[in-house]
Amino acid sequence: MTNEQLSEHEQGLIGEIVDGEVEAAFRWGVIVNLGLSRVGLIDALYVDDEDNYQLGDRVSCYLDCFDEQKDKFILRPPSQIPLAERLRRGGVNSWWE
């Protein structure tokens, strides 16, 4: 992430719970309007089969980070464990770090 791409306010939100509105739901994830400079993305890895995101739904998620390549904030529902933690718990070493 390049800090120049985000305002100081947006940088301060990383790691916090933010609220937004679902703009679109796809098999590959959910796009959320956060009222910030970029939209948020709930990756499909964080969407359970019983989740039913609909256009206009209000959601609260952790703003995990800003993905420069996707040009989106990466969101994680509060009920979900971060992917890196899931892999560690599953015995996968952090070879990507």
In degrees, rounded to 5, the angle at the alpha carbon of residue 34 between the alpha carbons of residues 44 and 72 is 50
Per-residue pLDDT at 91: 59
The superfamily in CATH containing domain 3-89 is Nucleic acid-binding proteins (2.40.50.140)
Q: What is the mean pLDDT of residues 58-85?
A: 90
Contact of 20 with 28, CB cutoff 8 Å = no
Residue-wise pLDDT for 16-65, tens only, equals: 999 999 999 998 899 999 999 999 999 998 888 888 999 999 999 999 99
Instruction: Domain ranges for the chain, please list them.
Output: 3-89
Per-residue pLDDT at 1: 42
